Every structure is written in C-alpha cells, then in structure tokens.
Amino acid sequence: MVVLEFCQDQLEIAVCPNREAMGCTAAAEVGALIQRLLETRQYINMMFAAAPSQSEFLEELLQMEGIDWSRVNGFHLDEYVGLDKTHPQRFAAFLGNHIFDKAPFNKVYYIEDTDLKGDGVVCRYSNLLREHPIDIACIGIGENGHIAFNDPHVADFADPHNFKIVDLDDRCRTQQVNDGCFPNFDAVPKRAYTVTVPGIMSARYIYCIVPSQNKSEAVKNTLRGPIDTSCPASILRSHQRAKLYLDMEAASSILDIYDL
C-alpha cells in the first residue's frame, strides 16, 4: 500500500503507512522486476544491504511467488574489517540468515569468502563486481546519509574504484549501537569494506528502503539538500532507475515541504 508518490529530480519516492507496508510494496516491485529481467536473461546479479531496516523487505521478497532464485547471483554492499568469521554481527551472517541461506541462489559472493585479507579482499571483490555487473541494488540510507559505508568524509562521487576499505565516522558507529547490533561504541569496528558510490550507481536499478523516525533527517537531506557528499544518498536523485521507499516516520520531515 502506497499513501503518497512523487519525484525529486529523477528519483521516485513512495511513502507507505508503516514499515510492514513499505516492505511489502518494495518486495512486490523488486520481485516483479526480477521476473521480468529473467525473461530475457539467463542470470541476473543482485546486491543487498545488511541492516535491520531491510528485514521486512527481505522477508516479503522471499515470499514472492514465481522467482527463480537459481538464476540469481547475490552480492552484498559492505562488511566490517576485522570481525571473526563466526561473529554474529558480520553482514554475511545477517544476509545468510535473512535471504542468502533461505533461497537457492545460483551463487552468493560474500565479501570475505576466502582467506584473503585487506587489499586482497578488495582486489577479489572489485574484480567480481566488474565480471558481474549489478542489475538490481537493494540498499538503505544511514542516519548520516551514507549509502553502504560511504560516510560523508569518505564518499566520492567520482571514485575511480568500485570497492574499497574505509574508516567509519562516529555517527555511523553510533548508529550500529542504536540499532542494537553492538553493545557499545567501542565494540563497533572502526573500518569496513564497501562498494563505492560509483559502484552502487552503476546498478541498472536501485531500490532504497528506509523506515523509521531516526532516518527522517537523512531523508530530508537526501531529497532537499544539495547533491553532494555531505549527504551521500543525495546522488540517488541523479539515477535514471532509482526508487526510494519510506514509511510515514521516515517521511515525517518532508511531508510539509512537499505539501503532501
């Protein structure tokens, strides 16, 4: 169910009454696109964000009928540097629990899927992304406006790389505590692997799922601020096939601005 629909620059926006409706709406549209692309392609490549904000969407996507997951390759946007492979807060664990282990993907390409470390991981995943151009990227927006782990101080709209290691800013790390992913600030890793902004923008289609009141400021900056790295998600307004899904809480800071 969609309450409001409008556009800002090239970005489509759909506002739903709550996060459950938001997840259902996004899943229905993504599921339909998967089926349509598979009508003319043997395989497609999808990239997913790992965050509590994506839970309803991923749950609903798995319930969609008619998706041949055996013809879908899975990637993820980012991963912490330095966490043990058995750590429950690794993004690989989140996506395994929420989608990758629950559907028969043709292949899942985890960021840390070998014994490589550091630059070796970057080189491997960068090459995989070049070999498998992303058709559909399913992403979120952080409280600081980041997409993936492209925080404002490291986001580069003209980045020559599609994948890199970054230092996380304090607001990003604090969000991980607020989301219940870590017990305290010091427990949050300081560095992460991430697909870069151009790496995300290279996807043919981008679906951005953003619920909850704590994202309302970032949503306002994304839609009404300048398109620059002070709010990395603002770049989505320049993508020809991007759509942003919000619940009413996330949209609360823009409803008056758009006279909706």
- For the domain bounded by 43-200, which CATH number is listed? 3.40.50.1360
Nearest 5°: the CA angle 188, 193, 197 is 115
User: Which pLDDT belongs to residue 259?
Assistant: 66
Instruction: Compute the average pLDDT of residues 87-116.
Output: 93
Q: Between 260 and 152, whose confidence is greater?
A: 152
Chain-wide mean pLDDT for the chain?
A: 96
Count helices and strands (H / E) in the chain. Answer: 7, 11
* pTM of the predicted protein model: 0.96
What are the start-end ranges of the E strands in 42-179? 44-48, 72-76, 78-80, 107-109, 136-139, 163-167
What are the start-end ranges of the E strands in the chain? 4-8, 11-16, 44-48, 72-76, 78-80, 107-109, 136-139, 163-167, 191-195, 205-210, 242-247
pLDDT tens across 14-66, in order?
A: 999 999 999 999 999 999 999 999 999 999 999 999 999 999 999 999 999 99
Instruction: Compute the average pLDDT of residues 203-227.
Output: 98
3-state helix, strand, coil in the chain (%, to 5): 35, 20, 45
Domain ranges of the chain: 43-200
In which region does residue 145 sit, left (phi positive, over 0), alpha (psi from -120 to 50) or beta (all else)?
Answer: left
